[in-house]
Structures are given as structure tokens and as C-alpha cells.
């Protein structure tokens, strides 16, 4: 810090304080507001003349006009280095388990802990050599972290090429030990440590090139992967009413998606779901490694004592950590639950700043803020040719399930896939409750385009016939329309829905999805069944549904799987044979 700059509290409005100062203040600079013996962390969000407004990330009870404010010359930042995986942080990157040990059940305000422990030592193995040319983000060495080799990288803010002046040998070092020194063309030296600090509202761009996402990301949720796919490095949103299954769906995706690292940002302060996540994740086995799922997970969640403004910091903290692991050539998924709470925090602060409101009192810059967050996703090629990606999935909780509200609409403008949850499907216990009639995706699927089109068509036809039957009854429906209705219901029941309590059915591999979808397309959706009456059609599809339920629970490449498949094939062939016999007669 060059010199300590001071200010004074001029006004207080909830967790926003107005500050007068004599020197200068930087936008988004961190400041500390003195309240007795406590120093409350704040971030400058607006500067006008000799006054600044700052949002305080703690309760402002007891803060008075005239209290001292200290500016730090540092932007709101996070520490990036070994030790992040398996951690549970709040939005300011305080390790919550450490806070709980020090403060007890009720966390005290003004207590801040180092995100990464200084005392621990890590086994560093150098990969760069003295005299080698490096750029920002290039690997200098590695240390083991959980199941990964954690890359120690050149500082992300370097410009141009630098030469490795010296680098330590293999050994055990603390995070703050200097492991390398870099030199530029003018002889300027930069010290490199295993930990570096980065401002959360500035994207990490230490890579050679960024690409449009094109490769499907397999989540092992059939409804998503087949009909409304997500791309590796892409973006998607999951809006839906309360209780429709957003959080459970995110937890399933975090367990089974084909990614290396999962970052969970519980930015909505939803205590029940957060507690469930914190209790469940350490006990869950990672299907990919057999080790605890927490070994490749970072959880960011705010405490209930933190003000609404802290929701914003948690979103940015999470995406910065995601970008950090992308710089190592890893595939990262960031799940934000729920971005509606973040938008509400922006609305609250905008109101206190007395800004001109936009639609439903949200700030006029709502769309640009949401867009800038999702734009930090993407596939990148690093300078050494390695590829890495960040995929962002955000849930939205529109009041009353109204998808026309500003947050949902602003999100839909920037994401590549829309998985809309419906109250009707969740009430009918059709999980995942993604409505296939309103959802969409711009990304390529693992399923053939013609087969996808047939699936969408039969679902729309089935829904239309179902709505018609609610008015005129089953008796007024033709046999052909009724069969189309049963085909759509069958497809929904046996393929789109998954049983999260079944160890086999809760996650379906890409290979199995292709095989089963192709089987259904060829033998059911495209089949020209001829039934004598509606009762015969209903009986046939009921039998088929029961067999498929057992098939979904059978592990692939087992005798049971093949046996049930043969039984399904035999049932379908029997029905088609009876049709041919009827035609000959």
C-alpha cells in the first residue's frame, strides 16, 4: 500500500454508506469502515466528486456518521492457488469452517480469514527452466492437489514474453515462498509464488484464443443431452417456480456431468438447500473416481447474517475461481443458484443509489451485468496449446413462475440453452421437470437431427391431443390421434423422465442414450401400429412402459439388459405381426 488514505462516513442507508474523502478513491476499491473495534469490509460502487458510495458486506448496525473509513488501493479480489478444492467459502472467500471454529454457531462480523493457509507446505515440481520464455498463465511447475496436478502459473497480468531468470528445484514450499523470478527485456524482475491475487470483476484472459462452444457436454440427464443439449464451454439457464426441482437438478448435474471441476455458487441464501449440499457432498462418492465428490468441488455460499449485497460478490468469486482452473487446461462447470437473488441485490443497491429504475424497478444496466457474467464462459486455447473450458449454468427463480419478468428475459438473450421448468410437470412428478414444449437449445446434440425432430413432433402432437381430450373426452378422439397421444406419453415416461433414486437410471451415458433413443425412434415413434380399439392400444403401451422401466434400471452390457431388450423387441414384433395378419385377412 503506497499510503493509507482515509475518509469519513457521511450517511448510512442500510448496508450502503456515503463517504467523504480528501485524496482519491478508485471504483470497486475495497475499504474498511470502522465500527468500534470492528473493521467492516466494503466495496466502492460509485464515486462522484469528493464523495463515494460503498456497499458494506456486513451489518451496519452501530455505524455512525463521522466513523473512519480506510481505503486499501486494492480491488475486491480472491486468492488463487493450491488448496481451493474441497473448500467452502462465503462470497468474500472466507473459509466458513475456519470461521465457525473461531466464532462458534453465530458468526461475528468483521472477522476475515485467509482463504488459503500460509503454514502448509506443498510438493512443488518445476516444469520451466531458467532462460525459458514464458507468457502470462504459462505453467512454471505443478503441485498435487486432491486428484489433480495443480499448475503453478506465471502471473496473469504479465504483458508480452518474459524470461525465467531463476526457478527453485523440486521440494516442499509454502504458498508465499518465491518459486521463480521472471525478467522482461528491460531487466525488470517479477517474483512468482504459488498463490496469486486477482480482482473478481476482471476476467482472466491469459490465453491465446477463445472459441465458440461446439462440442456437446454430456450431463447424463437424457432430457438435456438428447433434446436440449449443453455445449462444453457454453451457457444455459434453468428458470422455474419454487419447488420445481432446480436445486436437485443442479446437484445431479454436478455429480455426473463430464467435467473436471465443479464450482457451486449458492448466491441465493437458500438455507435449506445450502445445508443439504454442505452435508451431502462430502459423503457422496464421485462416480468418476470413487473418491469424495468434494475433492473436485468448490462451494461458495453466503451466511444468513450477510446482507443482500454479498450475493453479488459470491457470483464473481465463483466465476473467477472457475477461470483459474480453466487456465490449467481443465474443464470447469459453474452452477449459480439462483441468479434472481443476485439481480434482486442489484435492484436493492440501485434503489439506494437513487438511480433511474428500469422495468420492475431493476436497474437499467441489468442486462449488461448478466451478459458480462455469462460471457466469462467459453472454450480457450492456452499458449502451450492445451484446451480448457468454463461452462456456466444459472438457475432463475421468477416470481410465480413468470418467464416474462426482466431477469429471465435478460438471461435468455445471452445463454445458449433454455431449460424451462414447469409447475405442471413437477406437480405430476415428472422429473426432471423441464418442459419439452417451451425449452430450446442452440447447441448440437449427441442424437441425430432427424431423430430429435421426430421426438419433438410426437411430444407436441401428444400434448395437443391430450388438451383436446380434456374438452371432448377420449371418446371423441380418433384411434390414430389416440395412438399418437400414447406414443408421446410413452416417450416422456420412459426416456425424458429419470429416477434419481435408482443407481443406474439416475445417470445415462452418451452411448446408452444414443442406443436407447435410436431404438425408440425406429421401433416405436416411426412404427405404424394398427390396433383394433383404444383399449388394445392402451394395454400394449402399458406393457411396453413396464418393460422399459425395468430396462432403464438394468446396467448396460449385462445379461438382464439384453434379456429385457429382447422382450421389448418381441412384444413390438408381435403387435406388428398381428397388424400384418389383419391386413392379409
Q: Does 71 belong to an annotated binding site?
A: no
Q: Report residue 204 as a C-alpha cell.
A: 482472466
| Closest by Cα among 523, 539, 520 to 531 | 539
Q: Is 141 annotated as a binding residue?
A: no
What does the DSSP 8-state code read for residue 421?
B
**Lookup result for grid cell 455445449:** 231
**CA gap 223, 122 in Å, rounded:** 43
Q: Is 493 annotated as a binding residue?
A: no
Task: Judge contact between 156 and 206, C-beta under 8 A.
Answer: yes
Locate 131 and state its grid cell.
532462460
133 in a labelled binding site = no
Q: What are phi and psi of 223, to 5 degrees?
A: -60, -35
Buried b (16+ CB within 10 A) or exposed e, 412-425: bebbbbbbbbbbeb
Distance CA 228, CA 236 (A): 10
Whether 532 has a binding-site annotation, put simply, is no
Task: Map grid coordinates 486477482 to a residue.
Answer: 198
**β-sheet with 121-126: strand ranges across:** 148-153, 139-145, 121-126, 171-174
For 127, residues 6+ apart whose C-beta sits below 8 A from its C-beta are: 139, 140, 141, 142
Element (H, E) at 519: helix 510-520
Whole-number Å distance between alpha carbons of 452 and 470: 27
How many residues belong to the chain?
Answer: 585
310 annotated to a ligand binding site = no
Whether residue 49 is annotated as binding a ligand: the answer is: no
Cα–Cα distance between 455 and 555 in angstroms, integer?
24
Q: How far is CA 574 from CA 223, 249, 403, 577, in A?
A: 29, 38, 46, 5
Q: Which three cell numbers stand for residue 485?
A: 397421444
Q: Is 137 annotated as a binding residue?
A: no
Binding-site members are 240-247
Binding-site members for ATP are 240-247
Amino acid at each position: 500500500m503506497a499510503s493509507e488514505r482515509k475518509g469519513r462516513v457521511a450517511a448510512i442507508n442500510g448496508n450502503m454508506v456515503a463517504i467523504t474523502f480528501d485524496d482519491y478513491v478508485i471504483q470497486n476499491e475495497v475499504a474498511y469502515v470502522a465500527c468500534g473495534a470492528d473493521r467492516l469490509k466494503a466495496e466502492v460502487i460509485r464515486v462522484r466528486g469528493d464523495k463515494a458510495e460503498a456497499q458494506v458486506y456486513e451489518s451496519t448496525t452501530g455505524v455512525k456518521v463521522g466513523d473512519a473509513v480506510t481505503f486499501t488501493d486494492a480491488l475486491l479480489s480472491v486468492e488463487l492457488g493450491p488448496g481451493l478444492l474441497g473448500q467452502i467459502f462465503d462470497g468474500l472467500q472466507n473459509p466458513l469452517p475456519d470461521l465457525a471454529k473461531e466464532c462458534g454457531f453465530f458468526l461475528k462480523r468483521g472477522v476475515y480469514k485467509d482463504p488459503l493457509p500460509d503454514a502448509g507446505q506443498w510438493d512443488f515440481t518445476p516444469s520451466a527452466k531458467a532462460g525459458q520464455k514464458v507468457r502470462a498463465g504459462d505453467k512454471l511447475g505443478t503441485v498435487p492437489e486432491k486428484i489433480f496436478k495443480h499448475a503453478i502459473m506465471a502471473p496473469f497480468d504479465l504483458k508480452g514474453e518474459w524470461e525465467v531468470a531463476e526457478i527453485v528445484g523440486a521440494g516442499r514450499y509454502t504458498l508465499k515462498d518465491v518459486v521463480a523470478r521472471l525478467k522482461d527485456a528491460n531487466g525488470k524482475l517479477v517474483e512468482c509464488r504459488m498463490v496469486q491475487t486477482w480482482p473478481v470483476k476482471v476476467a482472466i484472459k491469459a490465453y491465446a484464443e477463445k472459441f465458440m462452444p461446439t462440442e456437446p457436454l454430456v450431463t447424463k440427464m437424457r432430457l438435456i443431452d438428447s433434446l436440449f443439449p449443453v455445449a462444453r464451454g457454453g451457457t444455459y439457464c434453468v428458470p422455474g417456480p419454487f419447488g420445481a426441482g432446480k436445486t436437485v437438478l443442479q446437484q445431479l448435474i454436478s455429480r455426473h456431468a463430464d467435467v473436471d471441476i465443479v464450482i457451486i455458487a449458492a448466491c441465493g441464501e437458500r438455507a435449506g438447500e445450502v445445508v443439504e449440499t454442505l452435508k451431502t457432498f462430502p459423503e457422496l462418492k464421485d462416480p468418476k473416481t470413487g473418491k469424495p465428490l468434494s475433492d473436485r468441488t468448490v462451494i461458495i455460499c453466503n451466511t444468513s447474517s450477510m446482507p443482500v449485497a454479498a450475493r453479488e460478490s459470491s457470483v464473481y468469486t465463483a466465476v473467477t475461481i472457475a477461470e483459474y482452473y480453466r487456465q490449467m487446461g481443465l474443464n470447469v462447470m459453474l452452477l449459480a443458484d439462483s441468479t434472481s437473488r443476485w439481480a434482486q441485490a442489484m435492484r436493492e443497491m440501485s434503489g439506494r443509489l437513487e438511480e433511474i429504475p428500469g422495468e420492475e424497478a431493476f436497474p437499467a444496466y441489468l442486462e449488461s451485468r448478466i451478459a458480462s457474467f455469462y460471457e466469462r464462459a467459453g472454450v480457450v486455447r492456452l499458449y502451450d496449446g492445451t484446451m480448457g473450458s468454463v461452462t456456466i449454468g444459472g438457475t432463475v427463480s421468477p416470481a410465480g413462475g413468470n418467464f416474462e419478468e426482466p431477469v429471465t428475459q435478460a438471461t435468455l438473450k445471452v445463454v445458449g440453452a433454455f431449460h424451462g421448468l414447469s409447475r405442471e410437470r413437477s406437480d405430476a412428478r415428472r422429473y426432471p421437470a423441464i418442459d419439452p414444449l417451451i425449452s430450446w437449445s442452440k447447441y448440437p446434440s449427441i442424437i441425430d437431427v432427424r431423430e430429435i425432430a421426430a421426438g419433438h413432433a410426437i411430444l407436441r402432437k401428444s400434448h395437443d391431443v391430450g388438451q383436446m381430450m380434456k374438452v371432448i373426452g377420449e371418446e371423441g378422439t380418433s384411434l390414430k390421434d389416440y395412438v399418437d397421444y400414447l406414443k408421446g406419453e410413452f416417450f416422456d415416461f420412459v426416456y425424458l423422465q429419470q429416477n434419481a433414486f435408482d443407481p443406474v437410471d439416475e445417470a445415462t451415458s452418451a452411448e446408452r442414450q444414443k442406443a436407447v433413443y435410436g431404438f425408440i425412434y425406429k421401433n416405436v415413434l416411426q412404427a405404424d401400429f394398427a390396433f383394433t380399439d383404444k383399449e388394445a392400444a392402451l394395454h400394449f403401451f402399458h406393457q411396453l412402459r413396464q418393460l422399459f422401466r425395468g430396462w432403464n434400471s438394468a446396467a448396460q452390457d449385462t445379461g438382464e439388459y439384453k434379456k429385457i431388450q429382447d422382450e421389448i423387441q418381441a412384444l413390438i414384433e408381435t403387435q406388428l405381426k398381428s397388424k400384418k395378419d389383419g391386413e392379409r385377412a
